[in-house]
Amino acid sequence: MTSNFQRNFSQTQGQGQGVSLDKLSSFENLNMRISSANNVVDLLDIYEQNSIVFKNEHLVQCLRTISKLVKSSQATQNEAFQQDKRYHELIKKVSENLNEFNENELMDLLFWVRRFRTMRINIHFDEENVDKICAKTLEFAKAKAYSFRNLIHLFYNTSFLNRSTDEIVLEILKAMRNQEKNKENLLTPNMVTEILQSCARPDKFISNKEYILVEHIIKNINPVLNEASIESKALIFKYLASMELHLSPPKFKAPYILHVIKASLKDNIESLLENDVLN
């Protein structure tokens, strides 16, 4: 009798909670649905249906997912979602809660801002808020809250937003020097590519600290090249060559590593893709 009562009670509860289940009130389901949305409209539908249970984590995850979904070539679709009042409401909530985000959520926001800026999509987000995100991530970086990999992501995103990176570079250099003391090298081909791409932008003025960072990269690059694909080597060569280090003080000479990479590329020219050859 008790089991029948419990079964009937459970069924009644299930019916009563049908609406909340439809609205994905489950925290885990909500995260999964946001990250697996097929397009921005579907994502905004999820937000609209579940905004009452949205946490800061969900707000940030929505913007990060939108950043991955949009493409600069889809101008019509991009214009459509930017005019959607639900998108503006989402941005407004993020602005209101900006002081509450943790270090990882702030990194995701920075990723969103950088992606939209590089694709020339209006973020409808005040520059004051962008400055606040940059300042807060820098505070977390100084407090050693970020891994070495995330420090480089932070440098990359901040650089493309044309903000000062000198203090972030100092944190990266400290981490690299500690690695040298411990005879470690945590650099990967992707990390090196991110750093060099940031410094090699044609519209960028490279600071003295960034030059020092590039020198440290060159000093520790051999283990990286040993595990780098031919495509990664082509990118590293492209970015180093475009920086024209032979024209820059204090050494006024091309890094020897360019000749090493060039020789490696020549040996593997047949395996290079068309884009890598053009690089």
Residue 30 CA to residue 27 CA, distance in Å, equals 5
3-state secondary structure 150-200: HHHHHHHHHHHCCCCCHHHHHHHHHHHHHHHHCCCCCCCHHHHHHHHHHHC
* Confidence at residue 249, expressed as pLDDT on a 0 to 100 scale: 61
Q: Side chain identity at 169, as an amino acid letter?
A: V
Residue 145 CA to residue 141 CA, distance in Å, equals 6
Q: For the whole model, what pTM was predicted?
A: 0.81
Tokens 């003080």 belong to residue: 249
CB neighbour list of residue 255: distance below 8 Å, 6 or more residues apart = 218, 240, 245
* Confidence at residue 265, expressed as pLDDT on a 0 to 100 scale: 82
* Confidence at residue 276, expressed as pLDDT on a 0 to 100 scale: 52
Among 192, 144, 189, 190, residue whose Cα is nearest residue 168:
144
* Confidence at residue 58, expressed as pLDDT on a 0 to 100 scale: 94
Average pLDDT for runs of 10 along the chain of length 279: 43 42 61 90 93 92 92 75 92 95 96 92 90 96 96 96 94 91 86 95 88 90 91 92 74 70 76 54
Give the Å distances, CA to CA, from 139 to 133, 146, 186.
10, 10, 23
Maximal CA-CA distance, the chain: 89
